[in-house]
């Protein structure tokens, strides 16, 4: 499976900046209260944003785009089926 970048340069820089900000905030809070799991989760989310910015690939964005493509293909398939049904083929009517 080949992954191509789906995040632009500016978006990647914003993700890296926000990721480092969240990571710094959460680690500073984690030093004071190490028993809080929410700070650890926020640190992981910040690290994920940093990784998305460096790699320039967002899995959530890719999943959403794939879903949109599938919906569009399905709508086109339904549209083609309705055109085929209306191409002069009529149901038998004995009256």
Is residue 74, in this structure, part of any structural domain at all?
Answer: yes
pLDDT single digits (tens) 23-49: 999 999 999 999 999 999 999 999 999
Is residue 50, in this structure, part of any structural domain at all?
Answer: yes
The encoded tokens of residue 31 equal 């030093």
Is residue 39, in this structure, part of any structural domain at all?
Answer: yes
Work out the mean pLDDT of the chain and round it to a whole number. 87
The owner of tokens 């690939």 is 57
pTM above 0.85, yes or no: no
Is residue 90, in this structure, part of any structural domain at all?
Answer: no
- Can you give the pLDDT at residue 78? 74
Is residue 70, in this structure, part of any structural domain at all?
Answer: yes
CB atoms within 10 A of CB 39: 19
Is residue 92, in this structure, part of any structural domain at all?
Answer: no
Is residue 93, in this structure, part of any structural domain at all?
Answer: no
| C-alpha to C-alpha distances, 6 to 3, 72, 87, nearest whole angstrom | 9, 19, 41
Average pLDDT value for residue range 43-65: 94
Is residue 1, in this structure, part of any structural domain at all?
Answer: no
Overall number of domains in the chain: 1
Q: Domain range spanning residue 79?
A: 9-84
């Amino acid at each position: 499976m080949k992954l191509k970048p789906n995040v632009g340069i500016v978006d990647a820089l914003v993700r890296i900046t926000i990721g480092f900000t969240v990571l710094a905030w959460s680690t500073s809070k984690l030093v004071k209260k190490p028993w809080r799991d929410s700070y650890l989760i926020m640190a992981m989310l910040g690290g994920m944003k940093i990784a998305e910015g460096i790699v320039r690939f967002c899995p959530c964005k890719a999943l959403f785009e794939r879903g949109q493509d599938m919906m569009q293909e399905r709508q086109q398939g339904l549209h083609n089926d309705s055109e085929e049904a209306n191409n002069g083929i009529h149901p038998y009517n004995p009256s």
